[in-house]
Copies of this chain bind each other. A is one copy, B any other.
Amino acid sequence: MKTTHNHRFVTGALSFVLLSSPLTAAAQQPSQAPIRGFAADAVTQRAELENRLRAVPDTGRLREYQRVMSEVPHHAGSPGSKAVAEWALAKFKEFGLDAQIERFDALLPYPASRQLELLGPEKYLAKLKEPAIAEDKDSGDPGQLPTFNAYSADGDVTADLVYVNYGIPDDYDQLAKLGIDVKGKIVIARYGQSWRGIKVKVAAEHGAVGTIIYSDPKEDGYYVGDVYPRGALRNENGVQRGSVMDMPLYPGDPQTPGWGSTPGARRLERSQATTLMKIPVLPISYGDALPLLRNLGGPVVPNENWKGALPITYHIGPGPAKVHLGVKFDWQVRPVYDVIARITGATYPDEWVIHGNHHDAWVAGAADPISGAIALLETARSFGELLKSGWRPQRTMMFALWDSEEFGLIGSTEWMETHQDELATKAVTYLNSDGNNRGTLSAAGSHTLETFVREVARDTQDPKTGKNALEAIVVKDLEKAKTADDSAKAKAKRFAIGALGSGSDYSSFIDHGTIASLNVAHGGEVETGSYHSIYDSYDFFRRFNDTTYRYGAAQSHAMSVAEARLLDAPVLPWSFTDAANTYTQYTNELDTLARQKLGDHQVDLFVVRVALDTLSAAGKMFDQALDRATGMGSQWLAAQAKALQAVNRDIYLSERELGDPNGLPRRPWYRHTIYAPGFYTGYGVKTMPGIREALEQKNREEAQTQAKVVADAIMRMAKRAQRAAEELDRLTKQGKTT
User: A residues engaging B (CB < 8 A)?
Assistant: 217, 222-227, 231, 233, 300, 307, 309-313
Contacts and interface: CB of A to CB of B under 8 A. Distances in A.
Listed from nearest, the 3 A-B pairs whose CB atoms lie closest are A311-B311, A222-B313, A226-B313
Contact of A310 (B225, B231, B311, B313): B311
A222 B311 contact: yes
A243 B623 CA distance: 74
A223 B300 contact: no
Residue from A224, A233, A309, A310 having most chain B Cβ neighbours under 10 A: A309
A295 to B, nearest CB: 12
B225 A312 contact: no
Contact of A227 (B222, B227, B313): B313
B226 A300 contact: yes
Nearest to A224: B313
Nearest to A315: B226
Contacts of A310: 311
A372 to B, nearest CB: 28
Contacts of A307: 223
A599 to B, nearest CB: 14
A307 B307 CA distance: 14
A190 to B, nearest CB: 15
A237 to B, nearest CB: 14
Contacts of A313: 222-227, 231, 233
A309 B222 CA distance: 10
19 contacts: A217-B311, A222-B311, A222-B312, A222-B313, A223-B307, A223-B313, A224-B313, A225-B300, A225-B313, A226-B300, A226-B313, A227-B313, A231-B300, A231-B313, A233-B313, A309-B309, A309-B311, A310-B311, A311-B311
Given A223-B307, A231-B313, A233-B313, 15 more contacts: A217-B311, A222-B311, A222-B313, A223-B313, A224-B313, A225-B300, A225-B313, A226-B300, A226-B313, A227-B313, A231-B300, A309-B309, A309-B311, A310-B311, A311-B311
A534 B261 CA distance: 70
A227 B313 CA distance: 8
Nearest to A311: B311
Contacts of A217: 311
A307 B217 CA distance: 13
A235 to B, nearest CB: 11
A321 to B, nearest CB: 15
A716 to B, nearest CB: 41
Contacts of A231: 300, 313
Contacts of A311: 217, 222, 309-311
Residue from A226, A227, A312, A313 having most chain B Cβ neighbours under 10 A: A313
Nearest to A222: B313
A311 to B, nearest CB: 4
Residue from A231, A309, A311 having most chain B Cβ neighbours under 10 A: A311
A217 B313 CA distance: 10
Nearest to A312: B222
A701 to B, nearest CB: 28
Contacts of A226: 300, 313
Contacts of A312: 222
Contacts of A222: 311-313
Contacts of A225: 300, 313
Contacts of A223: 307, 313
A584 B233 CA distance: 52
A227 B233 CA distance: 29
A388 to B, nearest CB: 49
Contacts of A227: 313
A406 B162 CA distance: 44
Nearest to A301: B225
A635 to B, nearest CB: 59
A222 B301 CA distance: 12
A217 B310 CA distance: 11
A310 B223 CA distance: 9
Nearest to A226: B313
A737 to B, nearest CB: 66
Residue from A222, A225, A233, A310 having most chain B Cβ neighbours under 10 A: A222
A292 to B, nearest CB: 16
A225 B303 CA distance: 11
A481 to B, nearest CB: 15
A307 B225 CA distance: 10
A482 to B, nearest CB: 11
A310 B311 CA distance: 6
Nearest to A236: B311
Nearest to A223: B307
A287 B137 CA distance: 36
A497 to B, nearest CB: 29
A527 to B, nearest CB: 11
Nearest to A300: B225
A224 B231 CA distance: 28
Nearest to A227: B313
Nearest to A230: B313
A300 B227 CA distance: 12
A593 B226 CA distance: 39
A225 B300 CA distance: 7
A227 B294 CA distance: 12
